[in-house]
Amino acid sequence: MSDGTARSNVDMKTWRDRFRGGAMPSQLLAKGEPFTAVLCANDRLALGAIEALRERNVGCPEQLSVTSFNDMPFVSLVQPQLTAMRIQHFGAGKAAAGILLYY
C-alpha cells in the first residue's frame, strides 16, 4: 500500500468437521482473490481442505499450503505431508496450575 501499511488479506471461516473443511478452500478459490495458505483449527479440517484442493487440481503445497493444529498420529500418513502444530496440553495445564498456586 502507498501509505507504508502492511496489507493482510485474512478471511476467517469456522467449521468443525472434515467434510466442511473442504468447503473452506472452495469458497476462497471461488472469490478469485489470491491467497497462499489455509490454516485449519484441527487435522480433520486440514484433511478436508487437502481433499478439496486435490479435487480442483490445486497443488498442495506447490500452489497452496495447508497447516493445522493437533498433530494427531494419523497425520504422518497424509500425502502430501501436513504441517501440524502440536499443542502440549499437559504442559500447558501444569504451567496454568503452577500460576494459580503461586497467586
pLDDT at 12 over 80: no
Round the average pLDDT of the chain to a whole number and report it: 80
Rounded Cα distance, 96 and 52, in Å: 38
Torsions phi, psi for 67 (to 5 deg) = -130, 160
Where residue 23 falls among pLDDT bands split at 50, 70, 90?
confident
**Cα–chain-centroid distance for residue 83?**
9
User: According to CATH, what is the number of the domain 18-102?
Assistant: 3.40.50.2300
More confidently predicted of 64 and 10 = 64
What is the model's pTM? 0.68
Neighbours of 67 (CB within 10 A): 15
pLDDT for the residue 61: 87
